[in-house]
Amino acid sequence: MRLSPRALRAAQAAWRECFPLQGRDVARWFPGHMAKGLKKMQSSLKLVDCVIEVHDARIPLSGRNPLFRETLGLKPHLLVLNKMDLADLTEQQKIEQHLAGEGLKHVIFTSCIKDENVKQIIPKVTELVGSSYRYHRAENLDCCILVVGIPNVGKSSLINSLRRQHLRTGKAARVGGEPGITRAVMSRVQVCERPLIFLMDTPGVLAPRIESVETGLKLALCGTVLDHLVGEETMADYLLYTLNRHQLLGYVQHYGLDSACDDIEHVLKRVAVRLGKTRKVKVLTGTGDVNVIQPNYSAAAYDFLRTFRSGLFGPVMLDRDVLQGCPPADTPR
Ligand SMILES: Nc1nc2c(ncn2[C@@H]2O[C@H](COP(=O)(O)OP(=O)(O)OP(=O)(O)O)[C@@H](O)[C@H]2O)c(=O)[nH]1
């Protein structure tokens, strides 16, 4: 939905300049960084020729686990930024420059749902492996790739998409909408015949420390941690703040609101009523208990988040602040 420039200016005047981050304990939102999974990957390293790190294209510059490159960095590395169908890539070149500045020269944007750009991966991997020294593996004719990444970014979906593209065959890895579907490093799965290429899927591994509360909120919006650990209403509030700042006002039309608004309580109330998500609550009054119908805020927040994640509010770039040179306000300097 597009507002007229005048209406937009009026609405923007009332929008928040920043999101309140104080008093939020990001460490409690994320489970331990799953050191066991990382150790297992390290021990598989001698069996592989290349590492594909999958990350979410909506947060191309934040939330990656630095330990992947520290512990697996011996092997050629390709960064696959997946879910490009949900990401606003207007500034793709700037993103690539930013990543190149961090030493990440090999980057491919993909959508495993739409099988977009997935065909570029095997030629790139072949090129990277061909131009590197294959420790212990020079005599092997096949090539083996380790797929790593934080939870829920689409690692298993990538394996399935590659198999669809190169082998015209179905699923090999389990996919799910919640983080933590893949629990163990898998045995090798073939994804291509010529050249002969195998992949190994791994469980999602988060960084041991999330760099800032805002990064934590972005990671939560992308579904890398179970929603209830952060709180659906907190996440819905951060989502509303982001949508308004990015002028992604599709939510207004989607839920039949009168106008854009920056007050999450007001928005969730309207969403709940619109969806018929209300609940009876007993209230103690001077004359006894009375049943009151109240909006179900958490059900409304859940719907708001789910609709955003399905892309119905439009493509988004959650790292716009980092791209513009303003890292999250609470990032330690
Ligand atoms: N829109 C969109 N959704 C995707 C894409 N790739 C994967 N998904 C969805 O993202 C969710 C997670 O996908 P998985 O392949 O299970 O992710 P994973 O990284 O293996 O997850 P873990 O096992 O938790 O580490 C699923 O609901 C997928 O359908 C994509 O390119 N676009």
Residue 232 CA to ligand 1 center (angstroms) comes to 20
Distance in angstroms (rounded) separating the CA atoms of residues 177 and 30: 17
Banded model confidence at residue 332, pLDDT cuts 50, 70, 90: low
- Using CA positions, which residue lies closest to atom 10 of ligand 1? 154
Query: With 80 as the cut, is the pLDDT of residue 247 above it?
Result: yes
Query: With 60 as the cut, is the pLDDT of residue 33 above it?
Result: no
Q: What is the percent of the chain where pLDDT is above 90?
A: 56
Residue 320 CA to ligand 1 center (angstroms) comes to 22
What is the model's pLDDT at position 183?
Answer: 55
Which residue numbers belong to the known binding site for GTP? 82-85, 152-157, 204
What is the model's pLDDT at position 268?
Answer: 97
- β-partners of residue 289 are 284
Distance in angstroms (rounded) separating the CA atoms of residues 218 and 58: 9
Residue type, 136: H
Query: With 80 as the cut, is the pLDDT of residue 326 above it?
Result: no
Q: Which atom of ligand 1 is nearest to the CA of 182?
A: 23
What is the model's pLDDT at position 157?
Answer: 93
Cβ-proximal residues to 315 (8 Å cutoff; 6+ apart), any chain: 85, 86, 87, 88, 89
Q: Which atom of ligand 1 is nearest to the CA of 175?
A: 16
Mean pLDDT lowest among 63-77, 115-129, 214-228, 234-248: 63-77
CB 318 within 8 A of CB 60: no
Distance in angstroms (rounded) separating the CA atoms of residues 34 and 179: 13
Three-class SS state of 73: coil
Cα of first residue to Cα of last residue in the chain, in angstroms, is: 38
Query: With 60 as the cut, is the pLDDT of residue 185 above it?
Result: no
Higher model confidence: residue 2 or residue 86? 86
The binding-site residues of ligand 1, defined as CB within 6 angstroms of any ligand atom, are 82-83, 85-86, 111-113, 149, 151-157, 175-177, 179-182, 203-204
- Tell me the whole-structure pTM to 2 decimals: 0.89
Which residue numbers belong to the known binding site? 82-85, 152-157, 204
132-183 pLDDT, tens digit each: 877 666 677 789 999 999 999 999 999 999 999 998 776 666 666 666 656 5
